[in-house]
Chains A and B, each alone.
Chain A
């Protein structure tokens, strides 16, 4: 509660804190989702064909992790600054369920299949498509949270 009040005060009383948190949130998901999408692109065999998905996963994963930490923490700050509004929002809880699903999926199924040496193309492609759909729907969820109150 104290923490919540402190964060809410900081974001609501300073002119630049709220937009800064929003920019970190957008920049974070651009890097996070964008880096996961590169692995998906390879799994769909649509780009970077000279390198394996496993290698691309290894290159992108540190960036994905750092970015997701930024997104989640800036998102928590934005949430705590206006808890009451988010709790009655019809879209926000949906976004959170999909987010939890996407995070679990990304670090279990997606990671495992991307790291496989010779996955069947059908498996790779379906895993990548589900990944893209999950992350894109979270972006849509974020915008719709703001529009449907």
Chain B
């Protein structure tokens, strides 16, 4: 509790959460990233499931969107850190917030597991006559994890101590 209190008392963070304009601007930026880069994640996964973008190779889909997803992810996480740190005391007991953080951790694990098998192995996937099961499993897990992420993000506002 005291760590959370000292965190949100850091000068610029308390100025930040008390500002009429800055807080909603950062929150809007966080959500804009969800729209712009979430759409890329979704379409990449639908491609891995063979549901759309069939004339685009998996390689093209993964590699040409990768820099945008990375850039967007950095902006999204920075905005998220600002939002959470500025109200650290409110977030510390919020189990929706911690579920969201665990989900974020699982997304990291998903990346570690499936990067060598799927996302860095797209040329093999493109050569295969049918999309291999491992690619579809990666896509479904990614969709489940990201849906959990934005749902928990919204539910943070509904926590009552």
List chain A positions with a Cβ less than 8 A from chain B.
19, 22-23, 26-27, 29-31, 33-38, 41, 46-51, 55-56, 59-60, 63, 135-136, 139-140, 142-144, 146-148
Chain B interface SS verdict (over half):
helix
B24:A60 contact, CB within 8 angstroms: no
Which of A47, A63, A135 interacts with B52 by CB under 8 Å? Answer: A63
B28 neighbours in A (Cβ, 8 Å):
139-140, 142-144
B65 neighbours in A (Cβ, 8 Å):
47-48
A30 neighbours in B (Cβ, 8 Å):
34-35, 38-39, 42, 150
Subset of 29 A-B contacts with CB under 8 Å? A22-B154, A23-B150, A23-B154, A23-B155, A26-B34, A26-B153, A31-B38, A37-B39, A37-B40, A38-B43, A46-B68, A47-B64, A47-B68, A48-B65, A50-B60, A51-B53, A56-B53, A136-B32, A136-B36, A139-B28, A139-B35, A140-B24, A143-B24, A143-B28, A144-B28, A147-B20, A147-B23, A147-B24, A148-B24
B39:A48 contact, CB within 8 angstroms: no
A23 neighbours in B (Cβ, 8 Å):
150-151, 154-155
Is the CB of B128 closer than 8 A to any CB of chain A?
A: no
B155 neighbours in A (Cβ, 8 Å):
19, 23
A30 to B32, CA, bound (A): 8
A135 neighbours in B (Cβ, 8 Å):
35
A50 neighbours in B (Cβ, 8 Å):
56-57, 60, 64
Min C-beta distance of B144 to chain A, whole Å: 13
Min C-beta distance of A56 to chain B, whole Å: 8
B39:A34 contact, CB within 8 angstroms: yes
Measured as residues with beta carbon below 8 angstroms from the partner, the interface class of chain B is 35 or more
Additional A-B contacts beyond A19-B155, A30-B150, A136-B35 (11; CB < 8 A): A26-B153, A30-B39, A34-B35, A35-B42, A41-B68, A47-B64, A59-B52, A59-B53, A59-B54, A139-B31, A143-B31
Is the CB of B61 closer than 8 A to any CB of chain A?
A: yes
- Given A38-B43, A139-B28, A33:B35 Cβ within 8 A: yes
Is the CB of B27 closer than 8 A to any CB of chain A?
A: yes
A55:B55 contact, CB within 8 angstroms: yes
B48-105 interface with A by 8 A CB criterion: 52-57, 60-61, 64-65, 68
A41 neighbours in B (Cβ, 8 Å):
68
B56:A29 contact, CB within 8 angstroms: no
Min C-beta distance of B61 to chain A, whole Å: 7
Is the CB of B147 closer than 8 A to any CB of chain A?
A: yes
Residue among A19, A41, A47, A136 having the largest count of chain B Cβ atoms under 10 Å: A47
B64:A49 contact, CB within 8 angstroms: yes
A55 neighbours in B (Cβ, 8 Å):
55-56
